[in-house]
Chains A and B, each alone.
Chain A
Amino acid sequence: MAVIRWLLLVCLLVASSAASAAIEIQHFDDPALDGRYRALTERLRCPKCQNESIGASNSPISADMRARVAERLRAGDSDAEIEQAMISRFGDYVLYDPRLDARTWLLWGLPFALVVVGGGVIAAFVIRRRRLRHADLDAEERRRLQALMARHTDDAAKETS
C-alpha cells in the first residue's frame, strides 16, 4: 500500500512538471514589470479554453498572447493599453472581470441590490417582532397566565413525588 502511494506521488510530480514545462518563462530586468506580467497573464482569459488564464494555459494562442503581453510591457505600454489591445482582437471574453458598461451594470449591480433588498426584508421582520413583544398583557390575561403556570408547577411537583 505504501509503495503504491509512493508511486502515485512520483507519477503526479512527473505529470505536473511536464505540464508546467510547456509554459515558457519571461525574464524582465525590472521586478515591477515581472509583477505586472504575472498579474496581467492571470487576469486575461485564454480565448480557446473554457476557463483558464493565459498564464496557466498551454494552448498556442495563450503562448502568443503571453508573448504579446511581454513585448508590450517592455515597450512601455500601460496595463490598460495591453488589455484594450487584447479586447479589440478577442472581445470582452478575455477579461475575467467584465468592464462596467451599459450591458454589464445589471451583472455588477445585482449583488448589491440583493443585499439592500435582503437587508430591508430582515429589518421589516425585526421591527414587526419588536412591536409584538411590546404589547403588554392586560389584567385578565395576566391572571390566566398565572393560573396556567401554577397548574404546571403543581403537575410537575406531583410527578416527582
Chain B
Amino acid sequence: MKRRLLLLIPLAIFAVLVAFFYRGLAKDPAARDSALLAKPFPAFELSTLADASQRLDRSLLEGQVTLVNVWGEWCPTCKQEMPQLLELADRGVRLVGVDYKDTRENGRRFLDEYGDPFTVSLFDPEGSLGFDLGVYGAPESFLVDADGVIRYHHTGYITPQDVEQVILPQVAQWQ
C-alpha cells in the first residue's frame, strides 16, 4: 500500500506545477513593481512647459502629496486619461505634469484642447527625467509624498474606476 502511494508523487508534482503555471498565465505580463517605490524622487532641473526661462527642481514636490503624471501630445491614451486627471484636480489632488519627449508647441496645444489639471508642467524634451523615473511608456503616474518620496507608481492609463478605487485612497494614505 505504501509503495502504491509513492507512485502518486509524480502526479502530485504535476499538480503543483499546473497550479503555478495556471496562476502565471492569468497574470498580466506587463504588470510589475516599480523599482522606485520608497525611493526619493530623482533629481532634475527642467524648464516648465509654459516658460522656457523658469527652472524647477525637486523642491517643487516637497511639502504636499503630489501626483506626477508623465504625458505627451503624441500619446493617444494620455488624451483618454485627461478627464480622470481633471476630476482628481477638482477633488483637491495636487498634480504636476511632465511633458515627455514632446515639443513645446504640441504640449501647449494638447493642454489647450484637453484641459490643464496640472499646477505646473515640466518640459522634458529629451526624456531625461522620464528615464530616471523608469518610464517606458506614457502615461505613467507617480504619487510623491510630502517628503518627496515616491509612494505609488501607476503604469498606464488611470481609468475612471481607478480614480475612486486606487488613486484617491493612495493619496489619503500618504497624506
Q: Could you tell me which A residues sit within 8 Å of B by CB distance? A: 47-48, 50, 60-61, 64, 68, 87-93
B134 touches A89 (CB 8 A): yes
Task: Knowing A48-B136, A61-B136, A64-B131 are in contact, say whether A87-B29 is a contact too (CB < 8 A).
Answer: no
* Residue total for B at the interface (Cβ-Cβ under 8 A): 16
Q: CB distance A89 to B133 under 8 Å?
A: yes
Task: From B32, B127, B137, give the contact of A93 (CB < 8 A).
Answer: B32
Q: A48 contacts which chain B residues (CB < 8 A)?
A: 136-137
B interface: dominant SS: loop
B33 pairs with A90, CB closer than 8 A: no
Q: Is the CB of A91 within 8 A of B134?
A: yes
Contact: B137 with A91, CB < 8 Å?
no
Verify if B11 is at the interface (C-beta below 8 Å from A): no
The CA-CA distance from A111 to B129 in the complex, in Å, is 41
Q: How far is the CA of A68 from the CA of B33 in the complex (A)?
A: 22
A91 B32 Cβ-Cβ under 8 A: yes
Q: How far is the CA of A87 from the CA of B32 in the complex (A)?
A: 13
CB neighbours of A50 from chain B (8 A): 29
Interface on B for A, CB 8 Å cutoff?
A: 29, 32-36, 39, 101, 127, 131-137
Most interface-central of B36, B39, B136, B137 (chain A CB within 10 A): B136
CB atoms of A89 and B36 under 8 A apart: yes
Contact between B32 and A89, CB atoms less than 8 A apart: no
Nearest 3 pairs of A and B residues by beta carbon:
A91-B35, A89-B134, A47-B136
Are B137 and A61 interface neighbours, CB within 8 A?
yes
Nearest CB of chain A from residue B44's CB, rounded to whole Å:
13
Alpha-carbon separation in the docked complex, A93 to B136 (Å): 12
Residues of B within 8 A of A61 (CB): 135-137
CA distance A42 to B101 in the complex (A): 25
**Cα separation A87 to B135 with both chains bound (whole Å):** 13
Q: How far is the CA of A25 from the CA of B27 in the complex (A)?
A: 36
A93 to B131 alpha-carbon distance, docked (Å) = 15
23 contacts between A and B (CB under 8 A): A47-B136, A48-B136, A48-B137, A61-B136, A61-B137, A64-B127, A64-B131, A87-B35, A88-B35, A88-B36, A88-B39, A89-B36, A89-B131, A89-B132, A89-B133, A89-B134, A90-B136, A91-B32, A91-B33, A91-B34, A91-B35, A92-B35, A93-B32
Q: Which residues of A contact B136 (CB under 8 A)?
A: 47-48, 61, 90
- Inter-chain CA distance A60–B127, complex, in Å, is 11
| Nearest CB of chain A from residue B110's CB, rounded to whole Å | 18
Nearest opposing residue in chain A for B29, CB measure: A50
Contacts of B39 in A (CB 8 A): 88
A47 CA / B29 CA spacing, docked (Å): 11
Interface centre among B29, B35, B39, B137 (most CB of A within 10 A): B35
B35 x A89 contact (CB < 8 A): yes
